[in-house]
Amino acid sequence: MDQELNLGEQPLHALLLELGLSNHDLVNASAEPLTHKAVQRARKGRRLTPHMRRRIAAALNRAAQLREKAPEGREWKVADLFNY
């Protein structure tokens, strides 16, 4: 396998800190199966499948909306959360 799997801290990590959200908040808000381990791997830059990145983006948007942390009308996309 020629592809690097560990890509360093992702923008998702800084955004979660800024919003005051934890891995647990994302897991609880997710409509699809999502584990704490998957969120931690995403924050640290472990390469995830496109489907898992979409799940995490959806969970973040829902968690921010539920906790009223998102700016009005703001929705984060996968490209906003990951730099790969």
Record the pTM.
0.89
Q: What is the number of domains present in the chain?
A: 1
Residue 70 lies in a domain: yes
Residue 28 lies in a domain: yes
Residue 64 lies in a domain: yes
Residue 30 lies in a domain: yes
Q: Along the 84 residues of the chain, how does pLDDT read in single tens digits?
A: 566 778 899 999 999 999 999 999 999 999 999 999 999 999 999 999 999 999 999 999 999 999 887 777 789 999 999 998
Residue 5 lies in a domain: no
Residue 6 lies in a domain: no
Structure tokens at 49: 């499948």
Domain that includes residue 62, residue range: 11-81
Residue 1 lies in a domain: no
